[in-house]
Structure 1
């Protein structure tokens, strides 16, 4: 498919030279249908050459989103939820000191079912007891059951405990393979596989464990007859638990847990009820986001992606908990990044983009007079939204955080303009040159900066500056999203004539084939996760778990949104997830 460009006039004031690409031009008299007043206001202006990504329209109309509702509200649901939570607390208390593996399995189920936020203190106490009794000393490691060893390792590392990789030293043979007598324990091998993704740099034992168990699990799927176990294995091979957003995992794991022979009916009922009750909160937040999006008029920018539901998914992935008040602001941030990205990446001429970047760097609303009309609308909506967020913090917290926001957005714009210049000149950057800019241009850093503010209990200049401690962790999370994005979207982006992405830069620099380049990028993603795990462990005491989880969850969203394609750009790919997460409650409750 050749690159598609559009020769049209809406929103245009400036022209630019045609980029140095082999282009197929198409003539399109109207970018929007029905025609908007915003387009009419600038029609008949100077004609210019524009790219068009031909993004599919949104599947979710304003009226549909506003109609979302649920029956899982009110006193009856709250009362039943409270009763079931007390039952689960009793289950936790009954297992303490009796059966560490059963207790760890219960904690794991509660986390995967999205219920652990109700039992934070209980889980913290349980893990501390198990750590002291089973893991603090290495004297019994060689005698530990593989399941206890693997599941405990994963859960304890996840919660900030330092468990050395040497706990698995007796599991791996001299050739780097899991010893054959463990092959009879399919569940143990699956747990070891999941544990291996919590490795950090230079942990060769865990690397060997991951490679060996992955090979084993792929082979064993040919012989496993238990459909539930088969589903768990295939799910793990497709999405290692450490790489999947929690809310998505809950949606998928609920179906598997319900079919398990050891399923607890009370836990299942609570999980279904809680999922539906949290969905109610998400529907409220999504209705708000949809109204804001409509008021911005950005939905009429027909060159861009109308993706308010998909952008809401990013904020849910960052923090799905019902008490989190930042989802609405984060959805605005996500949506603005998507639109501004399309201005730079698809529609704006280089001259316009240079001007827009100058205005972003000056933060001078009076300077918008030099911009074309569509950019004036874009900047005004953006400027007003960011200033309103800053004003709310100033009135509630007494902290002036506008410069903090400004810097985040200016860094993003400055990375965008670098790519625009590369595109205009036909320049292919080196692989390192691309990554040094692209970790910022993926747009995750501003989201994290806003999320950090929204998770602070005390907003002050001191606290705002402390985010620098997490710089390496943030960079690695951004890089993971960038690389997963490139793996899923680079083919489509090259078809429409975008600047080369990491895969193409690596191929150009090394002479590698696309298959070899993709294999290298997959390895780089894995290595970057190890760095992220290491950085999180190093700063776990410096920040709230809420903020650290947000950073990791954004990295996970890279895998979710871009594995096997572009769920953010292609609405049909995301539709079944949107229906399950935001529209349809889980059935089967009493």
Structure 2
């Protein structure tokens, strides 16, 4: 079988149908990526046997060589002359000339473990409508129970605030957002009256958390009442497990001036860690709740995971509100089914649900389903372009695609070849889809801002590649600043604002482009966490552009010492972001929450390993909990 030019093969398939299987084989310095095929009208994508073809026709095409094998897909061998039609077949590797250094040792990204599992789920519209109707029946009752009380009744107001905490933890706050905002506004005006005689650690901690979540700067000196005369926290506090856990959670809202919360974090952490090792001391559901908080506290966790974990916890609580619990379960099932009805196109399958998960971390509320899909496609785009440039492209080739992206004109694509042409086409395809959505919303300005942010990603990516290939050691701070942009921090936040619909205004994008302090520091945090996680893999590939590597060389310290310093920096960044969010009043709360949720997403992606690129471990646990584990009504 003869294969013609890669660009001809590419043009035979729509770019929107791209299937990034990334099951790659290296032959004589060449890496080929099979992007899906069909045989006799059947589509297949599971890994398996290799097929060997003859020499490809390379006339008029650059960056092609003899195609030895595609070991990417399995299909039954037919008798006689079996016809195999590739939807896409592109070479994703630069030409390696004789004596030329092969830049990187390619590391395979394993295919998704989910296959067609979720795509085969069929959901009837009638089932979806039933869930929605059941939810509507419950809302008025909860609205009355939680938000109807006399403004002079301090105890009722406190109970309402405690209920708001439960709503927020269960992922239901968006349903009662107007009532929550009004209630907290009036309550904060009477904050001194509310807390004067309140000495319950759990209640004070919850109130502190709720007010700060919604932008009210409740002072941390409220916790002074829980100290002894010698300045240490009272030992009697340790008799209240739930109170200590809530105090621990409250400590994560600390700013650079909340020194008492630094003490609280140390105090509660020691206690909870000792408690977590004694499984017989407390009920199992509370133990699990503590273990979840120790792994990632709620304020550092993404709302969709908090909601799933808290639902399991709240269901086991003896004094739970049955109506509230039922609404939470219905909401979660409705949310699952809503996104299944708007799943990504078939061609994005190989990282569909991993990428969807990233989008869900930015916003999980059902009304932002389109935004989740847009974010998922953008994450796929970033990953694809990053690999095409970092792993496969020579510097001249990367420069050529960056120059074409700067012009943002499809006509310049004719100046590109092979994998760089493929990357450019993919970018244009995804942004074309964004353009159609935004045009229908009357928000074309958002596309212009997204293009601007994407150009920044590609420029900084080129800078990092040049540093790595030349063995150059830039100043650590210079690298972290550039690396934060290259990691897509600003572009990802811009994409999430774009996905908010009419909520995301032109002024919000201009604010983001001004690089406010909170966003700048989150970009730094991204680079630090990413490079801690990927250090060993980067070094094994010969990719020296890594913050840990540069810090070790610049300061003459060990990896362990550098990693310790990075975690101190990250702790300080969390304080700064908390502080800046309380100060920021010129941006709407939904937009500001995209910044907060971006920081939370980074925590999830890099706390244990590179979650997006490792199919086992925490990623599997997360997706199983969100999409597989049953929720019984």
TM-score by length of 2: 0.80
* 1:122 correspondence with 2:175: no
- Please give the per-residue CA displacement for 1:95-128, whole angstroms capped at 9, x wherever unaligned: 7734455433322121111111111123223323
Change (3 A) 1:435 1:31: farther
Which residue is 1:301 aligned to?
Answer: none
Q: Which moved more, 1:353-362 or 1:83-92?
A: 83-92
Q: Which moved more, 1:87-96 or 1:235-244?
A: 87-96
- Please give the per-residue CA displacement for 1:45-77, whole angstroms capped at 9, x wherever unaligned: 95564641211112233x444322346834432
The 5 A counterparts of 1:67-466 are: 67-70=120-123, 73-93=127-147, 97=153, 98-133=155-190, 135-136=191-192, 141=196, 143-172=198-227, 177-223=232-278, 224-285=281-342, 287=343, 289-291=344-346, 293=348, 306-324=350-368, 325-394=370-439, 396-397=441-442, 399-455=444-500, 457=502, 464-466=509-511
Q: 1:78 offset after TM fit, Å? A: 2.5
Please tell me whether the aligned partners of residues 439 and 478 of structure 1 are also in contact (alpha carbons under 8 angstroms).
yes
Secondary structure, aligned partner of 1:169: helix
Q: Which has the higher contact order (CA 8 A, sep 6+)?
A: 1
Q: Which moved more, 1:198-207 or 1:383-392?
A: 383-392
Change (3 A) 1:31 1:408: farther
The 5 A counterparts of 1:49-64 are: 49=102, 51-61=105-115, 63-64=116-117
Q: 1:241 offset after TM fit, Å? A: 0.8
Q: Which moved more, 1:459-468 or 1:367-376?
A: 459-468
- Structure 1: distance between partners of 2:426 and 2:295: 40
Q: 5+ residue gaps in structure 1?
A: 16-26, 295-305
Q: 5+ residue gaps in structure 2?
A: 1-24, 34-60, 75-83
Change (3 A) 1:489 1:464: closer
Please tell me whether the aligned partners of residues 135 and 330 of structure 2 are also in contact (alpha carbons under 8 angstroms).
yes
Please tell me whether the aligned partners of residues 190 and 233 of structure 1 are also in contact (alpha carbons under 8 angstroms).
yes
Change (3 A) 1:238 1:41: closer
Secondary structure, aligned partner of 1:52: coil
Q: 1:212 offset after TM fit, Å? A: 1.7
The 5 A counterparts of 1:518-557 are: 518-539=563-584, 541-557=585-601
Change (3 A) 1:350 1:588: same
- Structure 2: distance between partners of 1:251 and 1:143: 31
- Please give the per-residue CA displacement for 1:565-585, whole angstroms capped at 9, x wherever unaligned: 121001123223223323x36
2:528 aligned residue (483, 488, 493):
483
Q: 1:315 offset after TM fit, Å? A: 0.9
Which residue is 1:19 aligned to?
Answer: none
- Structure 2: distance between partners of 1:472 and 1:365: 36
- Structure 2: distance between partners of 1:361 and 1:367: 10
- Structure 1: distance between partners of 2:488 and 2:544: 16
Q: 1:154 offset after TM fit, Å? A: 0.8
Please tell me whether the aligned partners of residues 308 and 625 of structure 2 are also in contact (alpha carbons under 8 angstroms).
yes
Change (3 A) 1:208 1:43: closer
Please tell me whether the aligned partners of residues 177 and 209 of structure 1 are also in contact (alpha carbons under 8 angstroms).
no
Please tell me whether the aligned partners of residues 128 and 337 of structure 2 are also in contact (alpha carbons under 8 angstroms).
no
- Structure 2: distance between partners of 1:508 and 1:398: 47
- Structure 2: distance between partners of 1:233 and 1:458: 36
Change (3 A) 1:177 1:283: farther
- Please give the per-residue CA displacement for 1:492-530, whole angstroms capped at 9, x wherever unaligned: 232222224222222222222222222211111111111
Secondary structure, aligned partner of 1:572: coil
Secondary structure, aligned partner of 1:59: coil
Change (3 A) 1:107 1:248: same
- Structure 1: distance between partners of 2:92 and 2:376: 31
Q: 1:157 offset after TM fit, Å? A: 0.7
Secondary structure, aligned partner of 2:499: helix
Q: 1:421 offset after TM fit, Å? A: 0.8
Change (3 A) 1:218 1:64: closer
Q: 1:159 offset after TM fit, Å? A: 0.3
- Please give the per-residue CA displacement for 1:252-307, whole angstroms capped at 9, x wherever unaligned: 2221222222223222222111101110112123x2x233536xxxxxxxxxxx42
Q: How many residues align?
A: 557
Change (3 A) 1:229 1:556: same
- Structure 2: distance between partners of 1:44 and 1:451: 32
1:560 aligned residue (601, 604, 629):
604
Which residue is 2:38 aligned to?
Answer: none
Which residue is 1:588 aligned to?
Answer: 632
Which residue is 2:30 aligned to?
Answer: 8
Secondary structure, aligned partner of 1:326: helix
Please tell me whether the aligned partners of residues 477 and 555 of structure 1 are also in contact (alpha carbons under 8 angstroms).
yes
Please tell me whether the aligned partners of residues 423 and 498 of structure 1 are also in contact (alpha carbons under 8 angstroms).
yes
Q: 1:248 offset after TM fit, Å? A: 0.9
Please tell me whether the aligned partners of residues 51 and 347 of structure 1 are also in contact (alpha carbons under 8 angstroms).
no
Q: Which has the larger radius of gyration?
A: 2
Please tell me whether the aligned partners of residues 404 and 412 of structure 2 are also in contact (alpha carbons under 8 angstroms).
yes
Please tell me whether the aligned partners of residues 92 and 392 of structure 2 are also in contact (alpha carbons under 8 angstroms).
no
